[in-house]
Amino acid sequence: MTDLIDDTVRHRFEIHVGGGVAFVDYAVEGGRLVLGHTKVPPALEGRGVGSTLVRAVLDEARARGMRVVSRCSFVTAYIHRHPDYADLLVRGG
């Protein structure tokens, strides 16, 4: 896997894997990182790419001192499976 890329023009975090691009759309609202849709190309599904992406995004949010609002079921499920990230999640955001 490659490093996380913050595409500020498209407002998404990306990782490039095997010629494909997986991404999470985002917005910054009130100092919070609002995570929208997560997209993993079909050819990369089932290989842990989505989890790797979300982990990297959450690590980046922590490094920036930002809390996270999840509007993506995949991101929310990831945080529930990895409670060490629960402190980042804004509930009811």
Per-residue pLDDT of the chain (93 residues; tens, 9 = 90+): 569 999 999 999 999 998 899 999 999 999 999 999 999 999 999 999 999 999 999 999 999 999 999 999 999 999 999 999 999 999 876
pLDDT at 63: 97
pLDDT value of position 91: 81
* DSSP assignment string, 16-63: EETTEEEEEEEEEETTEEEEEEEE--GGGTTTTHHHHHHHHHHHHHHH
Domain ranges of the chain: 5-88
Classify domain 5-88 by CATH architecture. Answer: 3-Layer(aba) Sandwich (3.40)
Whole-model pTM over 0.85: yes
